[in-house]
Chain A
Amino acid sequence: AQSVTQLGSHVSVSEGALVLLRCNYSSSVPPYLFWYVQYPNQGLQLLLKYTSAATLVKGINGFEAEFKKSETSFHLTKPSAHMSDAAEYFCAVSGAPGNTGKLIFGQGTTLQVKP
C-alpha cells in the first residue's frame, strides 16, 4: 500500500522568505512522487514530479523538491516566497503495482504569504 503524510496543514511565511513544505511517503515499490498546487476555485496544477531520474527535481514557478529515499521524504522548497504562491499544496504518490496511474494524495498544506 502507498500513503502520503504532509506535516503541517498550514504554513505561514513572509514575502521573500524560504518556503518549506514537508511530505513523507510510504510505498512498498519504488515511488513516483508529485507536488500539485491548487488555487482557490481552481483545479490542481502539476508543480513537479520525481520519476526515479535525478533526485533534485525543479518545477515551475521556482519550486524544487528533493527525493530522499533514506528519509522517505520529498519536501518542496522555494528560496523566496511571493504573494502569488499563496495556495494549497498537495503531495501525491503513484507507482503502485499495476501501474494504472492512480494518485494517492496527502491531506494538503495551505501556504499563507504575509507582506
Chain B
Amino acid sequence: EAGVAQSPRYKIIEKRQSVAFWCNPISGHATLYWYQQILGQGPKLLIQFQNNGVVDDSQLPKDRFSAERLKGVDSTLKIQPAKLEDSAVYLCASSLQTGSLAEQFFGPGTRLTVL
C-alpha cells in the first residue's frame, strides 16, 4: 500500500514570495490533515478536511495561508506572502475516517526555508 506522498520535499524562497505544497493521501482515506512543525516543536494542526469539506481550520493564518482539497483526494497548501517565521516542515497526514480513534498516517513532509 502506497503511503502519503508530498512534494516538493524541500523548498527555499525569499520572504514575501508565494509557495505551494502538494499532498496525495492514501487511497480511500477520507480525512486529510496539514500540520506545521517548527524546528524544536511538535507538529501543530493547520487544517483538517473530511472529503472536500473543512472540519477544523482554527489555527490556519487565513490572511496568508490557504488550502483546498479538490474532489476530496489531493490537497494543496499555499502561503502568500511568506514570512520568515513560516520556515518549518509541513506535514500532510491522512486517515480512513474522522475521529480520535482513526490512525493518522504521515507523509515525509516538505521542508520550507524562508530567507
Contacts and interface: CB of A to CB of B under 8 A. Distances in A.
B43 A105 contact: yes
A68 interface: no
Interface residues on chain B, size class: 20 to 34
Contacts of A56: none
A92 B55 contact: no
A3 to B, nearest CB: 11
18 contacts: A32-B101, A36-B106, A43-B4, A43-B93, A43-B105, A43-B108, A44-B91, A51-B101, A90-B42, A95-B100, A99-B98, A100-B55, A101-B31, A101-B104, A102-B48, A103-B43, A105-B43, A108-B40
B95 A101 contact: yes
A51 B100 CA distance: 9
B68 to A, nearest CB: 19
A25 to B, nearest CB: 13
Contact of B106 (A43, A95, A99, A101): A43
Interface of chain A, main secondary structure = loop
Q: What 5 pairs across the A-B complex have the smallest Cβ distances? A: A105-B42, A43-B106, A94-B100, A44-B106, A32-B100
> Looking at B31, B42, B93, B99, which has the most chain A CB atoms within 10 Å of its CB?
B42
Contacts of A45: 106
Nearest to B92: A43
B12 interface: no
